[in-house]
Structure 1
Amino acid sequence: MFAMNWGAFDLNLLIVFDAVMQERSVTRAGSRIGLSQPAMSHALNRLRHMLKDELFVRTPEGMVPTPRAEMLAQPLRNALSEMQLAFEPATFAPATSDRSFALAVNNYAAVVLAPPLVAAVSAAAPAVRLDLRPSGTLDVLERLDRGDLDLTLGNMESSGERFAMAPLLEDQFVMVMRRGHPASRGKPSAAAFAALPHLEISSSREDTGFIDRWLGEFGLERRVTLRAPYFPPRRSLSNPIWSRLSPAGSLRSSCATIRCSSASRHMIRRAYKRSWCGTAGWTAILPIAGCATSSCRS
């Protein structure tokens, strides 16, 4: 242990440290905070000398933090965020804000929530920019902790006290199949549902999704015969394939008898962040037509 001389400590070095920690590149970190590469290297050397640690090691994959840097990263990120909030206005003025908000969204949120969200933000905050990122390829909670994300939309488990969480809507499970599919003749059991060939929409092979986790509680596993990273638009399907789905060009939906909690869509953000968009327009999500409410229970 050593005694830090805080009177001689340059707090700007913490901004340099945080930028390198997030970017894992001295050049990109410098561009982010407006410093040249020589200035960044000089600042890092000063910080290394003061903390008696290498902090970052240059590798072909980028600047890799040392254990000491990993230990410092989150407390310093929190401290910098609190300092930023202390000097920002207490209220958020959407009409005049030109902030950029980074949102992690899954496929469902991108298809269902993004259009009304963009419309609401455009009306209330015309200069605000939205940066939507696929949540399946990210460690969302870690990115929220690091400040890379402002919020995320999707199916969320308990996120702990350090995050604020707000429900947006509840939706129902339905089965979607071609017209005339054998499963459309009746309501399948959970086992019959799992045995059917499934299309899985997932942007990450590691993320099996809440449906698979729920089926696993009953010792069941889906038979996934096709996996895709996103929902394909109708026009991307060839006419012969689309015509086989339905003569009218639409998919058939059927309510399953599977008893489950309805899928709850949430918005989650860092608890200490105050500047974020409101939820105007997000609740205008209608349930799927023709699906009996008894198919799922809340």
Structure 2
Amino acid sequence: MNWRQLDLNLLVIFDAVVQERSASRAAARLNMSQPALSHALARLRSSLGDELFVRTPSGMEPTPYAERLASPVRAALENLRLGLEGAAEFDPNTAERCFTIAVDNSAALILAAPLAAAIAAEATGIGLNLRPSGTIDLAERLDRGEIDLALGGLAAPGERFADRRLFDGGFAVLLRRGHPAERNETLDLDALGAFPHLIVSSTREGTEFVDVELARHGLQRHIALRAPLLATPAVLAQSDMLAVLGERAAREFARVAPLEVLQLPFVSPRLQTAMLWHRRFDDVAAHAWLRSIVLRVARAFRRPRHDAAS
């Protein structure tokens, strides 16, 4: 075929369908109608002489030819986007774009609100798309340029990525206001073993250290419920259960629900929160600005609140 006659816009549509495996989702992603997308696909099929996609019960499956084409097209489009972004000046006062940030559950709870507020105060044309990181392959999405930044308890999975620690913190106990175990802002070991526990199952914050410490004193933790982070405030507010989780997340829940944060009666492990990005964005002005905003927001979390008050 004559590549000079190929409409390169069709490759953008091809790439969207490869990623979404759905004509309707690809059309929504590209802000175009589904008939327009189908017409564009028909033109590309005619130009390339291949069916490209086959409809199946699980979505639009690429043909072998499309599978071979997908990676080079994705790389070419990403390099083109990166080149355009790197060459263009970036002014947050006038820029209009959306950043996609992957967040784990704790980072979403702690950072989403202040980060959105900081960006809105400085750049009204900048939007955020926060996506949960627990069910995706971060390295792959960062490689493909589908994610601009990742926030959470993570580290660079390879030399092509960079990471930077934002803040760290320990664990605390979260329980309802007026809980019978509440004594002088600290929970003693006997109460920690006596009252039922809620294990937060969606944060990947291991709390086995609690069992080890209790066992040293002949005590045992009773786990009454395992539930996602989202269920935590309602469960604790309506029961005598308590939960051991990251102190920053616990204080965020206590800010919006009738809950109290108590200190553990022993020193806990530390939880780190970091940001992760692809090194090819190191010198891209828009990405450097985004990372600077994240760092500015993170400064407020460098010291635990109870330390700041002492």
Q: Aligned residue for 2:276?
A: 268
Residue 39 of structure 1 pairs with residue 40 of structure 2:
yes
Distance in 1 of aligned mates of 2:232 and 2:241: 16
Offset of residue 188 of structure 1: 10
Q: What amino acid does structure 1 have at the position aligned with 2:114?
A: P
Gaps of 5+ in 2: 211-220, 243-253
Structure 1 position 92, deviation (Å): 2.4
Asked if 1 retains the 8 angstrom alpha-carbon contact of 2:174 and 2:259, the reply is: no
Q: 1:211 aligns with which of 203, 206, 213?
A: 206
How many equivalent residue pairs?
269
- Aligned match of 2:251: none
Is residue 2:171 matched to residue 1:173?
yes
Distance 1:187 1:290 in 2: 25
Provide the residue aligned with 2:225 in structure 1.
Answer: 225
- Cα gap change, 1:72 to 1:266, in 2 (>3 Å): farther
Residue 133 of structure 1: aligned partner:
131
In structure 2, what is the Cα distance between the partners aligned to 1:72 and 1:253? Answer: 56
Indicate the residue corresponding to 1:162 in structure 2: 160
How far apart, CA to CA, are the structure 2 residues paired with 1:243 and 1:196? 7
Asked if 2 retains the 8 angstrom alpha-carbon contact of 1:22 and 1:146, the reply is no
State the shift of 1:55 in Å. Answer: 4.2
Query: Quick one: structure 1 residues 66 and 266, their matched pair in 2 at CA, closer, same or farther if it must change by over 3 Å?
Result: farther
Residues 1:222 and 1:167: Cα distance change in structure 2 (over 3 Å): farther
Q: Kindly report which structure 2 residues correspond to 1:175-254, keeping only aligned pairs within 5 A, or say none.
A: 175-177=173-175, 179-181=179-181, 184-186=187-189, 197-202=197-202, 209-211=204-206, 223=223, 225-230=225-230, 232-233=232-233, 241=238, 249-254=258-263
- Give the stretch that moved more between structures: 66-75 or 133-142: 66-75
Distance 1:55 1:37, change over 3 A: closer
* Amino acid paired to 2:100: A
Taking structure 2 as the reference length, the TM-score comes to 0.68
Give 3-state SS (helix, strand or coil) of 1:269's partner: strand
Identity value in percent: 35
Contact 1:18–1:73 (CA under 8 A) maintained in structure 2: yes
Asked if the contact 2:188–2:264 (Cα under 8 Å) also holds between the matched residues in 1, the reply is no
TM norm structure 1 = 0.71
Deviations 1:38-66 (A, max 9, x none): 222221343354xxxx5433212211234
Write the letter of the residue equivalent to 1:227: A
**Secondary structure of 1:289's aligned partner:** helix
Q: C-alpha distance in 1, partners of 2:67/2:54?
A: 12
Matched residues in 1 for 2:241 and 2:225: separation?
18
Contact 1:201–1:230 (CA<8 Å) still a contact in 2? no
Q: Given the alignment, which residue of 272, 284, 288 partners 2:300? A: 284
Which structure 1 segments of 5+ residues have no match?
Answer: 203-207, 216-220, 292-298
- Shift of residue 268, structure 1, vs aligned partner: 1.7
Match of 2:93 in 1: 95
Q: Give the drift of 1:145.
A: 3.1
In the alignment, which residue of structure 2 is the partner of 1:82? 79
Once residues 236 and 105 of structure 2 are traced to their aligned partners in structure 1, the CA distance between those partners, rounded to angstroms, is 22
- 2:19 corresponding residue in structure 1: 22
| 2:83 alignment partner AA | A
